[in-house]
Amino acid sequence: MLGTALIAQAAGTPAGKKRADLRKRIWQHRWLYLFILPCVIWLLVFCYYPMYGATLAFKNYSYKLGILNSPWAGLKHFRTFIYSPDFWRVIKNTLVISGLKLLFSFPAPILLALLLNEVQAVRFKRVVQTFSYLPNFVSWVVVVSLMNVIFSPYGGVINDLRKNAGLDSIFFMGSREYFYPMVILSDIWKNAGWGTIIYLSALTSVSPELYEAAAIDGAGRLKSTFYVTLPCIKGTIGIMFINAVGGLLNAGFDQILLLQQPDNQLISDILDTFVLKTGLSQGRFEYATAIGLFKSVLSLGLMTLANEVCKRTMEVSIF
Amino acid sequence: MKKLKWTGRALALSLAATLMLAGCSSGGSATTSAAGDSNAATTADGSNAAATTGDSTTTGTQTFDDVTLKMLICWNGGFKTASDQYNNEVAAAIREKTGVTIEFEGIMMSETEKLNLVFASGDMPDIINAPYWGGDGGETAVIKKAAREGQLLDIKDELPKYENLANAYDVGIVSQAFLENDLDDPTFNGARYILPQETPGDVADISNWAYGVFVRGDVAETLGVDPTTIKTSEQLLDFMTKARDYGFTDVNGNDIITATTFHEGWDYGQYAMNFNSKQATSFVMQDDGTYTYSTLTDNWIDSNLFIWKLVNEGILDKECFKQTDDLANQKVGNGTALFAAAQYSTVINATKLTGLYNSNPEMRYVPVGPLSYADGESAVQVELKGRNGSPAIIFPTSCSNLDASLTYINYVNSEEGARLCQYGIEGETYELNEDGQPRLIQSYLERKANGDSTVDDELREKGIGYILGRTLQADKRKTWWGESNAGDADAAVEELEAYKEARPVEQLAGYPLDKLAQSFEDYDTLKTYAFDDTTKNDYTQRAFFADTEEEARSILEDYQTYLTTQENGLFQEYLDYANEVAKTRDDVIN
């Protein structure tokens, strides 16, 4: 009774009225809210619940005592990482690879979406779209295995062509100078098609009247793209950019791990592969967690920065 | 928005429920599996079977009431078993004797990683077999940590009850150093957690792994080189260079690779064997009689520069350091690689897999050398008196029935049990020869002799041929039956047996210095970086791909610097200590 009275009292204030409205609306659409439930549960179970494990970064882990009862170690593992001789090399490699991906891989789906948007033959467009999505479903293990076969110095198609042209064969997959091109090209091949989905859906929201008006003003296709299409989807681009910057330190663990070769080791060792090599493989879970936490905090900072920049320049932000 | 009708509500509810179940299904099944694993002593009808029908105090001979246990075979590469591990002839016969069935499960990942995962998650099987090479690196470190933290069962008082396992800790079967430093690690406080496995019952039972360099037979013949005369690195390089330049093709007429290895460069070190000396540890004695670490010597640099030269001159396969065994099997199996370095049996098996062994006998790989050590002495397989490290059988605290586990292992370690596991049922798959030794029946032997690899698959389905590999504590098979594996005596690969004689096993007597030096005060700190092969491999393999010899040398020297400068030069203190303790015994060997 008291509770009901309090709710009634709270509903009398503007904030309380708003809350009561919200509750009413939720109840009204309860069947639709039910669809969100699995996602919420998934998020709680798999994303929030395991977060307590981050405390491992500050502990000396014992199998028997588990995460919560292991003794505290302070910032020891962070210090070990920061003072390790590999610290700057690994950070630099991660930023370089992520930066290159941001520079080349991020715009690729936008470009592909714009090109697809200009295709008039509907059936052809759909076929191209479908084929461009397929690589996304191929795992990196398969992609890199295919690349190994294609670029192998021993019987690979590319090197056979080179040999037929009188050129020496090149160990593309294992040479330092080809590492970055291989990373970027394979990344674009695998992800660009799938990435167009969100931009293509944004493009459908652009009013045809704007194109008609632009055409009346004498704008060709290229100018329409620059002055109509891009400004109309800049919000989507901005949001995607913020997310991409947030994931800047995720340079692509499985891709990079599989592309690592002795010769490119110096430039291919990124934070995630370093965690695997020096942490998880050797059972130093607390050290691996410390590096992971370090990465997450840095990523949050980068994302906040990107959010501010986008808010000021593109008038979009995620918070 | 219109209100959803009842059909819509029902649809929404069922969709939401389905999504939730789908989202949770993998976790759910994992949980079930975990629970199943940790309580794996279930009977065939699903009930618990902790009760025994025998006297619990005479555990060595008791029989259980249909207990099934899980054993994790923690060796990267998987573990082939019968497709039905419960219903096969051998499992049924063992069950009849002991009442116990063990179901084996292999892994396809790093052993250290898997052990860490098992102990950290608590998702532990009843029994584990894993590498325990001693020292404080890799798998040994994880097992020792698990033992110290109470994750393993103490079997000290149990072992004497089992006649076939009771002498597992005897010096001679295991070395004094292995016993003192690893099996009875001082931090175990007198408890015993490790059942050393694959220890030789006698000198004749020591496995000869037949490592070396092997060349396609027709290559040696075409070039007019007798491969057994190749003893030094210069001779090997000259031979390989001639082979590279001759213009050979593989069995399909494709271009060749001059030399390769198997998975991840295993074992490129065989090409540089001529830089090594006969030693049991990583310490080398210098001219002034003091010891230093082999990695810090010029010889170590020269040895790696030799590999650099092979890579740089297009002789050694550039892909070999990251390749899989499957790819290596193709390269060797098709004769694409003219030279291969690994165990001889692995090389021969690759050619049997593709059929090259029988279709093109002239292309069969033949041994090079064996290469000599740096001092000119012929290379051998060095072993200590008693094993200095071994596979280990351990029992996590999750083991639901330790008595049943040990009873099973004890039985398969008896002559009767081992014969059952290796040969099956008498009259069906084997018969006794005039000396009373078991031999596979003639039809199997003939097929084996003809290189028919399906024989092993067929026998495996009956439960034959895989159990002993990871349960035999002291291997007495050669002593018992005159052959270590079924068919060895009658269907042995002649060239393999001949090579084993050319590169025999040699036992060194003495106390290895690396074990002695483990008592170094800061050993725990030192071991985190000094004995870490990952970092060492990063440096050496990077050097192999350097553009110039100078660059390669510089990378190798960088590693030496890394080793000696970490932790304010702790490694030098360790070396000083090793030299000091070496003086305390007169049987120290390096």
Mean pLDDT of A117-145: 91
Domain coordinates of chain B in residue numbers?
Answer: 59-198+387-486, 211-383, 512-589
Residue A32, chain B, CB below 8 Å: the answer is yes
A155 neighbourhood in chain B, CB within 8 Å: 254-255
- Nearest residue on chain B to A70, alpha-carbon basis: B149
DSSP bridge pairs for B512: B589
Report the pLDDT value the prediction gives residue B7, as an integer from 0 to 100: 59
- Nearest residue on chain A to B113, alpha-carbon basis: A281
Cα of B187 to nearest chain A Cα, Å: 15
- pLDDT higher than 50, residue A100: yes
| Spatial CB neighbours of B486, under 8 Å, sequence gap ≥ 6 | B422, B423, B430, B438, B440, B459, B464, B465
Fold assignment, B59-198+387-486? D-Maltodextrin-Binding Protein; domain 2 (3.40.190)
SS3 B11: helix
Q: ipTM of this predicted complex?
A: 0.73
Residue A277, chain B, CB below 8 Å: the answer is yes
Q: Which residue has the higher pLDDT, B46 or A91?
A: A91
Among A74-83, A247-256, B79-88, B307-316, the minimum mean pLDDT is found in A247-256
Residue A81, chain B, CB below 8 Å: the answer is no
Do B211-383 and B59-198+387-486 fall under one CATH topology? yes
Report the percent of chain A where pLDDT is more than 70. Answer: 95
Report the pLDDT value the prediction gives residue B203, as an integer from 0 to 100: 67
pLDDT along chain B (590 residues), means of 10: 55 53 38 32 36 38 87 90 94 94 91 89 92 84 91 93 90 85 91 90 76 95 94 94 93 92 92 91 88 93 96 92 89 94 93 90 93 91 82 94 95 94 93 91 86 86 92 87 84 85 86 86 83 84 93 94 88 92 86
- pLDDT higher than 60, residue A42: yes
B110 neighbourhood in chain A, CB within 8 Å: 281
Cα of A67 to nearest chain B Cα, Å: 9
Report the pLDDT value the prediction gives residue B17, as an integer from 0 to 100: 57
The answer to whether B143 touches B181, Cβ cutoff 8 Å, is no
Q: Is the peptide bond before B325 cis (omega within 30 degrees of 0)?
A: no
B115 neighbourhood in chain A, CB within 8 Å: 283
Cα of A262 to nearest chain B Cα, Å: 5
Domain coordinates of chain A in residue numbers?
Answer: 1-74, 76-313
Residue B80, chain A, CB below 8 Å: the answer is no
- Nearest residue on chain A to B265, alpha-carbon basis: A262
Largest CA distance in chain B: 95
Cβ distance B116 to A42 less than 8 Å, yes or no, reads no
Cβ distance A265 to B23 less than 8 Å, yes or no, reads no
CA distances from A261 to A100, A281, B272, B332, B550 (A): 20, 18, 21, 22, 21
- Nearest residue on chain B to A155, alpha-carbon basis: B255
- Which B residues 110-139 touch A at CB under 8 Å? 110, 112-113, 115-116, 119-120
DSSP bridge pairs for B174: B171, B387
In this complex, the residue of A38, A277, A283 whose CB is nearest that of residue B534 is A277
Q: What is the 3-state secondary structure (H, E, C) of A230-284?
A: HHHCHHHHHHHHHHHHHCCCCCCHHHHHHHCCHHHHHHHCCHHHHHHHHHHCCCC
Report the pLDDT value the prediction gives residue B16, as an integer from 0 to 100: 52
Report the pLDDT value the prediction gives residue B57, as an integer from 0 to 100: 34
- pLDDT higher than 80, residue A37: yes
B119 neighbourhood in chain A, CB within 8 Å: 63
* N-to-C CA span, chain B: 84
* Chain centroid, CA B51 distance in Å: 36
Mean pLDDT of A87-95: 91
Could you tell me the two tokens for B433? 């020869």
The answer to whether B516 touches B581, Cβ cutoff 8 Å, is yes
Give the pLDDT confidence of A147-180 residue by residue, as tens digits. 998 998 888 899 989 988 988 888 899 888 899 9
Residue B151, chain A, CB below 8 Å: the answer is yes
Could you tell me the two tokens for B127? 């029994």
DSSP bridge pairs for B588: B511
Report the pLDDT value the prediction gives residue B15, as an integer from 0 to 100: 52
Report the pLDDT value the prediction gives residue A14, as an integer from 0 to 100: 65
Largest CA distance in chain A: 91
Mean pLDDT of A21-48: 89
Cβ distance B12 to A281 less than 8 Å, yes or no, reads no
Architecture of domain B211-383: 3-Layer(aba) Sandwich (3.40)
Cα of A274 to nearest chain B Cα, Å: 11
Q: Return mean pLDDT, chain A.
A: 87
Residue A34, chain B, CB below 8 Å: the answer is yes
Report the pLDDT value the prediction gives residue A204, as an integer from 0 to 100: 87
The whole-angstrom separation of Cα B6 and Cα A9 is 35
In this complex, the residue of A35, A45, A171 whose CB is nearest that of residue B12 is A35
Cβ distance A37 to B16 less than 8 Å, yes or no, reads yes
- Going by pLDDT thresholds of 50, 70 and 90, the confidence category of residue A276 is confident
- Going by pLDDT thresholds of 50, 70 and 90, the confidence category of residue A258 is very high
Phi, psi of A204 (to 5 degrees): -65, -20
Architecture of domain A76-313: Orthogonal Bundle (1.10)
| Chain position carrying tokens 């002991």 | B98
In this complex, the residue of A31, A37, A63 whose CB is nearest that of residue B8 is A31
Report the pLDDT value the prediction gives residue B10, as an integer from 0 to 100: 62
